[in-house]
Amino acid sequence: MSVVDGSQGTHRVTFGGALTVRHADQIHESFVDALRQHRHVVVDCSQATQVDLSFVQLVLSARRSAAAAGKRLSLAQRASGDLLDVLQRAGLVAADGSAPIPGQEFWFQQGGN
């Protein structure tokens, strides 16, 4: 489900397949392990085939944990596909997917350099 690449000063975690409640424990562990060892974690979910709200909740939780520890969690690319659909249904971005609601700009930023 995840592939890790620690090159170029960042730690990239790539999630593929179903990012759903069924895999929440594994996704959570990937975030915990990455944030325990690295100051900047880049999340790449471009290979996801299915996304549900549990993944969004885990990303938001990991982001808060990173900030509290003086670390950074960012997305490799802006939200699209299934992830964008889930964000729209959850009310975290505009219904047409064009803009985030205030405080949710994270989903439209790219931080994986």
Asked if CATH classification 3.30.750.24 holds for the domain at 11-107, the reply, yes or no, is yes
**Residue 113: per-residue pLDDT:** 45
pLDDT of residue 112: 55
The pLDDT of residue 4: 58
Q: In the prediction, which pLDDT does 35 show? A: 95
Ranges of residues in the chain with a pLDDT under 70 are: 1-9, 112-113
Contacts of 13 (CB under 8 A, 6+ apart): 2, 3, 4, 30, 31, 34, 41, 42, 43, 44
* This prediction's pTM: 0.88
Handedness of CA 69, 54, 76, 103 (dihedral sign): negative
